[in-house]
Amino acid sequence: MPDSTFADDSLSRLRLQMAEHRLDACITTYPVHVAYLSGVFPPKDRLVAVLVTPESATLISPHPPADLPQTMSAMTYEDYSIDYVVNPAANFAGAFDRAVLTLAATVRRVGLEPAYLALEQWEAIQRSLNVEHIEDINPVLRQMRMVKTAAELPLIEHAEEITDRMYAAIAGNIVAGASEVDVFLTTLAVVKADPSKPAELDGDYVSGPRTEAIGGPPTTRRLQVGDLLIADLFPRLATHCADCCRTYSVGKPPQALIDRHALLEEALATGEKAIQPGLPTRELYAIVRSVFEREGMAQYFPHHAGHGVGILPSEEPRIIPGSDEILAAGMVITLEPGLYLPGQGGMRLEDNFLVTENGCRCLTHYPRRLTVL
């Protein structure tokens, strides 16, 4: 179900930005930001839009939810009929035209997301509005999404709880001989059992030699004694995600793998201790990487040290050496140190953290150990 409280907060924050940028309206057809402003993710391949003014908002959708934000109304269009062939794109275009036309009397300065705006919708805006100023609001919305509201945090924490359950389900049900697809189905069953809807599950499910490639979808490859299994899980429950990773050993691991995983645990704990408002994300990356540099292992850590989590499982801020972003209270981020050795396999460990005024709070609770299957 949609969370209208979360969406009301999103709309209020956007309206503050609209006032600061002197915008009469904002229009987006980007499904991620439609979800951020309406409180529900649209079904895949459905055309949707949100139009926001200082006083009102309109969601254009073939199947709008009943529980919309207080200041939002719905405009529907037909996307299916058993009696005749339907052209959903044409019907969406007609609804979009009608919605834009209602803004004609008052809108002169408009915020758009041009990278996600189809030519037909751009032509409708030009045709119906006497626009004097256009501003790309994508950076504004992405910046807003980095700092979570109080209404968003329970949604993220619920996704974290489901992720913890999925890791326990893997430990309790998967043994040598199971396939990567079996691992996926085990985790999917946990997501399906939760009442939050809509729900999605994506992730990396790689084992044995496939762990050297960092990630990938599940295959029919069967787990063998001596394998490592990387399960990097990113479920979405309703609107918000978690993104965590655990590595399992199929059978008792040799001491070298235990020691290598201990290095991941140290890198994660070192990064966790450093998290605080005002810390540049590039410095956080360097702090995590420094643990591997000390041991001469940094060349086996080829990816980012983490990123933001929210509406998407991977979003800003980016914890990479090339980022200029700064941590702020209210951000939810991951840390995910990993080591991938040719011929020996890869492993990764990832937890999620809420940046607080004085440091951080870990949102992931499944043990940070190399669990034996």
Q: Got the DSSP string for 214-273? A: S-----SPBP-TT-EEEEEEEEEETTEE--EEEEEESSPPPHHHHHHHHHHHHHHHHHHH
153-372, what's its fold? Creatine Amidinohydrolase (3.90.230)
For the four alpha carbons of 286, 242, 355 and 33, in that order, the dihedral sign comes to: positive
- Give the integer Cα–Cα distance in Å for 120 and 234: 34
- Give the integer Cα–Cα distance in Å for 123 and 308: 35
- pLDDT, tens digit, for every residue of 79-133? 988 999 999 999 999 999 999 999 999 999 999 999 999 999 999 999 999 999 9
- Residues 6 or more apart in contact with residue 55 via CB below 8 angstroms: 71
The mean pLDDT of the chain is 96
| 41-45, 216-220, 279-283, 350-354: least confidently modelled range | 41-45
Sequence spans of domains, the chain: 4-145, 153-372
- Give the integer Cα–Cα distance in Å for 8 and 196: 19
Pair of tokens at residue 239: 């609107």
Q: pLDDT value at position 255?
A: 97
- pLDDT, tens digit, for every residue of 302-332? 999 999 999 999 999 999 999 999 999 999 9
**Across 21-27, average pLDDT:** 98
Q: pLDDT value at position 197?
A: 81
- Give the integer Cα–Cα distance in Å for 322 and 335: 16
DSSP 8-state symbol, 298: G
- pLDDT band (50, 70, 90) for residue 3: low
Cβ atoms of 320 and 357 within 8 Å: the answer is no
Q: What percent of the chain has pLDDT over 70?
A: 99
**Across 151-159, average pLDDT:** 96
Pair of tokens at residue 218: 């599940």
Q: pLDDT value at position 67?
A: 78
- pLDDT, tens digit, for every residue of 350-370? 999 999 999 999 999 999 999
**Across 25-44, average pLDDT:** 93
Quick count: other Cβ atoms within 10 Å of Cβ 256?
10
Looking at the structure, give the CATH architecture of the domain made up of residues 4-145. Answer: 3-Layer(aba) Sandwich (3.40)
- pLDDT band (50, 70, 90) for residue 43: confident
**Across 135-152, average pLDDT:** 97
